[in-house]
Amino acid sequence: MHPSTSYSESRKWVAVLIFVTRCLPFCRSDPRISEAGLFCGDLRVSPNSSYIPLFVKEMEVLSQMVTAHGWARYVVNSTNISIFSLAQCYGDLSHNDCLQCYAASRTRLPRCLPSVAGRIFLDGCFLRYDDYKFYNESVDPVRDKLNCNSTIEGVDSGGVDLDFGKKVEELVDGVANSAAAGGGHAAAEVRGVFALAECWKTVSVEGCKTCLGKASEEVKTCLPSKEGRALNAGCYLRYSTHKFFSNPADKKRHDSGVSRVGKSMAIAWSAIAFCMLSLFACYAAYARWNKRKQERNNLGQISYSYNKSNLQVKYEILEKATNYFDPSRKLGQGGAGSVYRGTLSNGKTVAVKRLLFNTRQWVDEFFNEVNLISGIEHKNLVKLLGCSIEGPESLLVYEFVPRGSLDQYLFARNRIKILNWKERHNIIIGAAEGIAFLHGS
C-alpha cells in the first residue's frame, strides 16, 4: 500500500469517527460539549518519534483520574520527550456529564497532532497538553482568546437593550470575584442573564483572581452580543441570555439518578476516543516502518554504486583504526558528524568522519559529497580517500591534516597560534579559491 493512500484512508476514517461522535445523542443529560475554542501550537514533533504512543498513554491515565476526581493533571516522560497535560470539568457539571464532556474533548484534541501543544475549551470542560510545565500559568497574552456570539441583544425588538450591558457587567464582575474568593468556581443570574466562572485547580488563588479579572474585562467587549466567552490560560468565563449551567440541587439529583444510558454513552465516547488514538498510533508506526524501508532501499542504491569502486572501506577496519572511536582521538564536531583521527594497518594516518544522519536528506547529501569530492584534487581542499556504508553508521575517510583545523587557530581557548592579519588574509583567499573551484566543478 502506498504511503499517501494509507494517509488518505486514515484521514477519511478520522473524519467519519469525528462526525459520528458529534452526532451521538445524549439522553437525559447535558454534558455541554459545544466547542468554544480549539488552539494548536506551532511546533511539531519529528515523524519518527514515539510521541503518538506517549500521547495515547497520557490520555488514558487522564481518563482514569478524571473518572475518580473530575479533574486531573499528569506528566509522561520518555527520552527527549515530556508531555504535560491537564483536564478539568466545570464545577456545576454532574459526574456523568463530566465523563462525557472529557471523552468529547479527548476525541477532538488529537486534531492538533502532530503539534506538541494543544488546548480545547468545551462549554463543560477543558483539556490541554503541552511540552512544558504550564500548571501555574494564569494568563497568556498571545494565546488567550475571546469568543463572542454574533447575535445582538435587543435587535429583534427594534433596538439595542441598553440595560443589558449593565446587567452583563454587573454579573461577570460578580461571578469573577466570587470564584476567585470561593474555590475557583461560581455561577449566578441577574435578571435573565446567566454567567459562570471557572479557574483551573492548578492555578493559585492569586493567579485565579488575575485570570478572571482579565477575563471579565475581555468578555465585556463582546457586548451587545447575547453571549461571550473568555478562554484564558488559567480560567474560563461565560455569560449568556439562556441558562446553561446546573444548580447545586439539580447536580445532586442528577448524580444520584445517573441513567444507564448516560453510562453507556460515556463508555461509547471513551471507546471511540481510544479507536481514534489507536488509528493515529498505527499510522505513525506504519509511517516509521515505511520510512526505514525507504532508507534501506537508498542504502542499497549507494552500495550498488560503490561496492565495485576503490573507495569502499570495511567498517571494521575504520572502527579498529580509530580505536573504536575513542573520545581521545576526536578531532572535532561539525553539523553533519564527528571527526576522529585513525591509523590504518599500513601506518597511514587518516581522518574518519562519523555521520549523524540516516534520513532521505542524509542519503542525498552522502551522494553529493562522495560524488563531488572523490574526483576533485585542489591544494585548498581536503581529499576524500574512501567511505563505508555497510556498518551500523556511515563513515567518510579523508586525508589527515596534521596542523589541525582552522577553528583551533581562531576560536579555541588555548590557541595553537595567534594569526596575524596577513595570515588571516591568505586563509580567506585560500578558502574562497577552494569554494570557487567546487562551484566550477
Q: Is residue 210 located within the same domain as residue 274?
A: no
Higher pLDDT, 48 or 400: 400
Identify the pLDDT of residue 410. Answer: 73
360: in domain: yes
Identify the pLDDT of residue 414. Answer: 63
Rounded CA-CA distance 439/433 in Å is 10
Residue 418 pLDDT exceeds 90? no
Q: How many domains does the structure of the chain reveal?
A: 3
Residues 6+ apart with CB under 8 A from 166: none
309: in domain: no
Identify the pLDDT of residue 332. Answer: 81
- Say which range, 24-38, 193-207, 331-345, has the weakest mean pLDDT: 24-38
Closest CA to 136 of 75, 87, 181, 201: 201
Identify the pLDDT of residue 416. Answer: 65
308: in domain: no
Q: Is residue 343 located within the same domain as residue 421?
A: yes
| CATH number (domain holding residue 234) | 3.30.430.20
Whether this model's pTM surpasses 0.85: no
Residue 59 pLDDT exceeds 80? yes
Rg (CA), the chain: 31
Higher pLDDT, 137 or 434: 137
Q: Is residue 156 located within the same domain as residue 188?
A: yes
Residue 258 pLDDT exceeds 50? no
14 pLDDT tier (thresholds 50, 70, 90)? very low
310: in domain: no
**76-108 pLDDT tens trace:** 988 888 999 999 999 999 999 999 999 999 989
Q: Is residue 121 located within the same domain as residue 176?
A: no
b/e burial code for range 281-313 (CB count within 10 A of at least 16 → b): bebbeebeeebeeeeeebbeebeeebeeeebeb
**128-186 pLDDT tens trace:** 999 999 999 999 999 999 999 877 866 544 455 678 999 999 999 999 999 999 889 99
Residues 6+ apart with CB under 8 A from 210: 138, 139, 234
Contact status, residue 61 vs residue 219, Cβ threshold 8 Å: no
Rounded CA-CA distance 1/17 in Å is 22
71 φ, ψ (degrees, to nearest 5):
-160, 165
What is the extent of the structural domain holding 246? 136-258
| CATH number (domain holding residue 339) | 3.30.200.20
